[in-house]
Structure 1
């Protein structure tokens, strides 16, 4: 596969989105309001011509319909335990400092939403499945 992947973690109030190159490097990741999801995806899809995937959890049916109304194809993927993996990735990218570095990472709660990291995890899983 040589196309990038645009991954979406849909939610009621906010959605995580990320674009990863075919090799797995992160091109962009962000959290957007659910109301602005379609516009954000349309902008990124126009810029990157990606395969669009979306986690099959909360509000995925509605989000998928909004994106497909733009003429884009969306593939639903399993998002089982992606939040846990996203929290771990958050702490890899932002290592704990001070007293937090003494606490096991599994017990730490990130100080910011991790929806964008969930999108990265979804994209990486999808890319890994394509290689096999």
Structure 2
């Protein structure tokens, strides 16, 4: 299992995906809850690797994750560039627009919630495409 982590100052995206690309968990969480939730996910799932973005606050988060994760887990950073744009498109694939929202041109639609968790999914997929 792979844990995807989209680091941020106030909120972070987390996703758990199998190497077969099956999605088991995804959530946007407060930065203050990261330690508790990641430790819980490590107990719930057989996490083998952590994939995280390499941009905003990534140095600080990598150090923090190193402290809270089991030593056997390696943290791999992947290019986070344009991942938010990709996640926005993915949001609408996962949750197709309903009602009048369908009439708004695709490029002008804004997801109704934070999409950091979907960015975490995109980061895992980028890692899987690399190996």
Q: Which residue of 2 aligns with 1:127?
A: 128
CA-atom RMSD, angstroms?
1.2
Structure 1 runs not aligned, ≥5 long: none
Structure 2 runs not aligned, ≥5 long: none
1:31 is aligned to 2:35? no
Question: What SS does the corresponding residue of 2:86 show, helix, strand or coil?
Answer: helix
What does residue range 6-17 of structure 1 map to in structure 2 within 5 Å?
6-17=3-14
What does residue range 53-132 of structure 1 map to in structure 2 within 5 Å?
53-70=51-68, 71=71, 72-130=73-131
Give the drift of 1:108.
Answer: 0.4
Give the drift of 1:69.
Answer: 0.8
Give per-residue Cα distances to partners, 1:49-70, cap 9 Å, x unaligned: 2210110111111111111012
Give the drift of 1:6.
Answer: 0.6
Give the drift of 1:115.
Answer: 0.3
Q: Which residue of 2 aligns with 1:40?
A: 37
Give structure 1 regions of 4+ aligned residues with deviation exceeding 3 angstroms: none
Q: Number of residue pairs matched?
A: 127
